């Protein structure tokens, strides 16, 4: 059964956030539009110069500052089920001062990780005695551990992007440009149930050696490998992200050789995944295979990243991250080999 917003954004989450805020020694979280606000409330607020902010005190009732013209949208969102007081402010009001007045004296507050500098500075003026830290220091522990419903939402998004990849061979032909192929893929991502297309990379031949290439007017040639990396936000709010490598006809022999190295590296990393092992050990499992084959200098990024309400979130599968994996962590395993000027 498809997951619903009431499943994904349960009323109990607000209480869990309040408890985590108190445990972290913060007096409140201040969550402006972005993934933190959506995770806690389910409200996908527009990022405007007018302040929208969910205020979650460690002790006391949460409330949401909303521009009056955005009040209907906020009340129609899943946030309406949380029993919040929606504080609508008018154009001549100072919403930062109103929020500070309702919050009272505080010593330490957590700001949404994606809060605009404009808003953080206005809150600094409104709460001059409060130390500002990142709300992510509180929310990361909750967001990393996906519930069964969140896992189901990720499976939906993953299945949808898989369905797009199944169509890529019909778009990917010699003589077409990367941009033309990318346009077809973007339309297919939306048709598969995504709300947004977050990225479409179509990297043919030497462009495949740039991990974050976009699309260009380069004409795809017969025999070229093509990296296709695509993803978006599914209607649930959870994200997809899948990279696959194609070949338009028979690929070069040297490419097929190191593609096999890469396949073995990914399999080794996946085989190493289990609760209790460190994030960096998964990175090491992939990196060892690639280094042993002589391509170590051409693996230029981490092995993976968490995925959920954001395409890139914690945990990061990278050297130096000794955090142990836990049940509920969701992350990618995507080692790479990139040979400049040739392919990747």
> What's the CATH code of the domain at 101?
3.40.350.10
Q: How far apart are CA 56 and CA 31, in angstroms?
A: 8
Question: H or E stretch including 57?
Answer: strand 53-57
Length of the chain, in residues: 344
Residues 183 and 282 in one domain: yes
Q: How far apart are CA 266 and CA 213, in angstroms?
A: 21
Q: How confident is the model at residue 103 (pLDDT cuts 50, 70, 90)?
A: very high
Distances (CA, A) of 138 to 102, 128, 203, 265: 22, 22, 38, 34
Q: How far apart are CA 192 and CA 157, in angstroms?
A: 9
Does residue 82 surpass a pLDDT of 90? yes
218's CB contacts (< 8 A; 6+ apart) are: 177, 178, 204, 205, 207
Residues 104 and 59 in one domain: yes
Residue 229 lies in a domain: yes
Neighbours of 71 (CB within 10 A): 15
pLDDT in tens, 134-171: 999 999 999 999 999 999 999 999 999 999 999 999 99
- Quick check: pTM over 0.85? yes
Residues 283 and 180 in one domain: yes
pLDDT in tens, 63-73: 999 999 999 99
Residues 137 and 152 in one domain: no
Residues 132 and 77 in one domain: yes
- Residue ending a domain, among 143, 164, 182, is 143
Here the CATH number for the domain that contains residue 158 is 3.90.230.10
Residues 40 and 166 in one domain: no
CB 151 within 8 A of CB 328: yes
pLDDT in tens, 4-56: 777 889 999 999 999 999 999 999 999 999 999 999 999 999 999 999 999 99
Q: How far apart are CA 140 and CA 258, in angstroms?
A: 36
Q: How far apart are CA 275 and CA 297, in angstroms?
A: 29
Neighbours of 136 (CB within 10 A): 18
Residue 336 lies in a domain: no
When pLDDT is averaged across residues 65-85 and rounded to a whole number, the result is 95
Percent share of the chain, pLDDT over 90: 97
User: How many domains is the chain built from?
Assistant: 2
68's CB contacts (< 8 A; 6+ apart) are: 88, 89, 90, 91
Residues 152 and 53 in one domain: no
Residues 269 and 301 in one domain: yes
Residue 152 lies in a domain: yes
Residue 103 lies in a domain: yes
Structural domain that includes position 124? 5-143
pLDDT of the residue at 1: 63
């Amino acid at each position: 059964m498809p997951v619903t917003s009431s499943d994904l954004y349960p009323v109990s989450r607000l209480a869990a956030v309040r408890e985590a805020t108190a445990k972290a020694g913060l007096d409140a979280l201040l969550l402006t539009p972005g993934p933190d606000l959506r995770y806690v409330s389910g409200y996908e607020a527009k990022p405007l110069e007018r302040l929208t902010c969910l205020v979650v005190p460690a002790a006391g009732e949460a409330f949401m500052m909303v521009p009056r013209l955005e009040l209907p949208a906020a009340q129609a969102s899943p946030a309406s089920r949380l029993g919040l007081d929606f504080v609508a402010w008018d154009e001549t009001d100072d919403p930062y001062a109103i929020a500070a007045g309702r919050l009272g004296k505080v010593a330490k507050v957590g700001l949404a990780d994606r809060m605009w500098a404009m808003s953080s500075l206005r809150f600094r003026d409104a709460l001059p005695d409060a130390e500002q830290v990142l709300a992510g220091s509180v929310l990361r522990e909750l967001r990393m551990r996906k519930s069964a419903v969140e896992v189901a939402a990720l499976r939906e998004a993953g299945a949808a992007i898989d369905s797009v990849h199944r169509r890529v061979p019909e778009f990917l032909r010699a003589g077409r440009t990367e941009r033309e192929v990318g346009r077809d893929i973007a339309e297919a991502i939306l048709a598969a149930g995504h709300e947004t297309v977050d990225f479409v990379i179509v990297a043919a031949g030497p462009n495949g050696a740039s991990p974050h290439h976009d699309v260009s007017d380069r004409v795809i040639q017969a025999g070229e490998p093509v990296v296709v990396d695509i993803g978006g936000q599914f209607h649930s709010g959870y994200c997809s992200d899948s990279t696959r490598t194609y070949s338009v006809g028979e690929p070069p022999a040297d490419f097929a050789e190191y593609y096999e190295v890469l396949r073995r590296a990914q399999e080794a990393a996946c085989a190493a995944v289990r609760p209790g092992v460190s994030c960096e050990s998964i990175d090491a499992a992939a990196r060892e295979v690639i280094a042993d084959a002589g391509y170590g200098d051409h693996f230029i990024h981490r092995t993976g990243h968490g995925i959920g309400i954001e395409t890139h979130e914690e945990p990061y599968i990278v050297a130096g991250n000794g955090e142990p994996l836990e049940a509920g962590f969701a992350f990618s395993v995507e080692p790479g080999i990139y040979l400049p000027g040739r392919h990747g």
